[in-house]
Amino acid sequence: MRKTRVINSQISNIISDMGHFDTMSIGDAGMPVPVDTKKIDVSIENGVPSFMQVLENVLSELEVQKVYLAKEMIDQNPEQLANVKALIGDTPIEFIEHEQMKQDLSKAKAFVRTGEMTPYSNIILESGVVF
């Protein structure tokens, strides 16, 4: 058994497979995922697990050089935006249109679907390097 925080085998495999500039995404229960993008569904019920719980877990093992958030999050979910900013620290954020985010999911190695039920609780994580 793994000793690290990410014990979900599918998420762990994606993190292990990430290379520099590769992307993976974490999002709310309503985000449409392209057919060709691997979807890892960890949702159990409304709000469980939360977007922030899963994001914190993934960030404990994935080196991230940049994140992408929907511009709509600024006005539609400022509390969640504040939570994300507090968690990622100095990691650069690029705000993109939600429609663009949905299209960009087709390039992601995977999308992790949470039980989150708040609007625009979606993020694309761009992998960095540890050296």
Task: Flag whether 68 is marked binding.
Answer: no
Quick check: 2 pLDDT over 80? no
Number of domains composing the chain: 1
Give the separation between CA 6 and CA 13, rounded to whole angstroms: 10
CATH number (domain holding residue 32): 3.40.1650.10
13 in any annotated domain: no
Quick check: 126 pLDDT over 80? yes
Q: What is the mean pLDDT of the chain?
A: 97
Q: Can you give the length of the chain in residues?
A: 131
Task: Flag whether 17 is marked binding.
Answer: no
**Over residues 10-27, mean pLDDT:** 98
Choice among 17, 20, 30, 92 that is catalytic:
20
In DSSP notation, 29-85 reads TT----TTS-EEE---BTTBS-HHHHHHHHHTT--EEEEEEETHHHHH-HHHHHHHH
**Over residues 47-57, mean pLDDT:** 98
Task: Flag whether 75 is marked binding.
Answer: no
Q: Catalytic residue at 20?
A: yes
5 in any annotated domain: no
**Over residues 75-99, mean pLDDT:** 98
- 92-123 pLDDT, tens digit per residue, is 999 999 999 999 999 999 999 999 999 999 99
Can you give the residue range of the structural domain that contains 30? 19-127
- Residue 47 has a pLDDT of 97
